[in-house]
Structure 1
Amino acid sequence: MTTPAAGEETFISHLIELRDRLVKASIGIVLVCAGLMIWPGPSRIYDIIAMPMIAALPVGSKMIATGVISPFLVPMKVTLVIAFILALPWVLYQLWAFVAPGLYTHEKRLVAPLVISSSALFMAGVAFCYFFVFGRVFKFISEFSPTSISVTPDIENYLDFVMSMCLAFGATFEVPVVVVILVRMGLVSVAKLKEVRPYVIVGAFVVAAIVTPPDIVSQFALALPMWILFELGLLVAPVFVRATQAPEQVE
């Protein structure tokens, strides 16, 4: 009977550890989702998500559901997405716990702040999209629409739009984290990033034009924060680099 090689045993142990971390992350999401199901409930959660759209419609107007099970399925999808966002710190912690054993002590000092900041920035991006962008975008669309058109959005189309916009803004708010990682890994220097600043600004507006509706309000609402967060990353990156240097690298 042959025994597995040391490398094979290590690989299998890593797979088992990864499985356990994924299970724990999934349990966290399920528990949060169950809590949201109890309070405030899927229907109430969807009503909250729909508030910016309802506020832009004529008084008394509502959205419509064209699918037979859409009134049930769409609120459930929204609840699951909200549960994932709220459980994101726990999910990222499980990711950190998986990679932490292979990191040096000075590298671990970088990972923990990145996990916290990534979660906070993603949630901030989603909140910024909901509280600031949606109201202005829907108001702009409502005012632009001809009076001969009755605006009655379908709830599934609205959900797709909201989720794509929230994902775009959540990902955009991760720009400082991306800058810090690039600088810390030595792939690019802060000086070089400052040199390409004009291209970054143009790129921010190009990305905003692609991922947002074709209106100037939402494009500027995404491009300007992206630029500001890039500048924030340039300020924070040197601090992270100094704080996570190996002892022999410290001058």
Structure 2
Amino acid sequence: MTTPNPNEHAMPLVEHLKELRDRLLKSVLSILILFVGLYFFSGEMYLILVEPLNALIADKENASLIATGVASPFLVPLKLAFVMSALIAMPYILHQVWGFIAPALYKHERKLAIPLFITSVILFYSGVAFVYFVVLPLVFGFFTGTGPEGINIMPDISNVLDFCLKMFFSFGIAFEIPIATFLMVRAGMVSAQSLGEKRPYIFVGCFVIGMLLTPPDVISQSILAIPMYALFELGLLMSRFLPKAVKEEDPK
């Protein structure tokens, strides 16, 4: 029997494009509004961002943050304000994405997509918070504590910002492991049983990633690797239980 179309009254292509344009404009406008408000506090935000580093070099003689570029004092806060605007607006942007694709989904698919969207946002922000409160103090502590004697520590404000943003997005994406695991099983790319059998390799792989993203010591690697493996187990657990309930609702 032919599967019914989830949207019997399909919109013309032009209407779809207009809706997409409107939702894109709303997303961009939300970022711009936040940017205008946050820019006035960009200096304070930067000081909060580099607080883990400042706390380590405050007691060191001739150690401070510097700006090597002429325009850096202006461009660095500008860049930070824009990125923070995008991060804060992310739930609203995902809401616009959801509003565009939801009409094309079946009822059981909408029930599944909503918690996935919410969970993905929470996991991403959790990864960012994990970097700020755990990873950055460890990384900055390692780099500021291993320099040769007589070397003045003077990090450039632009390099520090770029490093922090790379860490934020890297860990934010890494914390999406449960969603990625679940979707891979849900799409039939791999089975939950086969993933379970590969646990030892995945466990070692988490430590390899931890080695690449953190300072070369066991404690720092473990702080990243263990949560990554725990998130993998969470995604594996989700993939074992949710698909069964969803399949029963599939239209015939």
TM-score range, shorter chain: 0.7 to 0.9
Per-residue CA deviations over 1:161-213 (Å, capped at 9, x if unaligned) read 10111111100000001111112222222111101112212222333333445
The aligned counterpart of 2:206 is 204
Instruction: State the number of aligned residues.
Output: 240
Q: 1:221 offset after TM fit, Å?
A: 2.8
RMSD of aligned alpha carbons: 2.1
Question: Which range moved further: 42-51 or 186-195?
Answer: 186-195
Q: Which amino acid counterpart does residue 172 of structure 1 have in structure 2?
A: A
Q: Which amino acid aligns with 1:233?
A: G
Contact in 2 for aligned 1:136/1:217 (Cα 8 Å): no
Kindly state the Cα deviation for residue 55 of structure 1 after the two structures are TM-superposed.
Answer: 0.9
Instruction: State whether structure 2 residue 77 is matched by structure 1 residue 75.
Output: yes
Answering whether residue 142 of structure 2 is matched by residue 161 of structure 1, we say no
Code of the residue aligned with 2:242 in structure 1: it is F
User: Is the alpha carbon distance of 1:190 and 1:148 closer, same or farther for their aligned partners in structure 2, counting shifts above 3 Å?
Assistant: same
Unpaired runs of at least 5, structure 1: 1-8
Q: Percent identity?
A: 44
Number of the residue aligned with 1:6:
none
Aligned to 2:100: 98
TM-score relative to the length of structure 2: 0.87
- Segments of structure 2 that go 5 or more residues without pairing to the other structure are 1-10
Equivalent residues in 2 for 1:95-134 (5 A)? Answer: 95-134=97-136
d(CA) in 2 for partners of 1:10, 1:198: 51
1:29 aligned residue: 31
> What's the secondary structure of 2:247's corresponding residue?
coil
Contact 2:142/2:215 (<8 A) preserved: no
Q: Deviations over 1:11-49 (max 9, x none)?
A: 4333322222211111122222223234xx010000000
Match of 1:183 in 2: 185
Distance of aligned partners of 1:86 and 1:115 in 2 relative to their CA distance in 1, 3 Å threshold: same
Partner SS for 1:86: helix
CA distance in structure 2 between the partners assigned to 1:155 and 1:30 by the alignment? 24
Amino acid paired to 1:59: D
Distance 1:67 1:239 in 2: 54
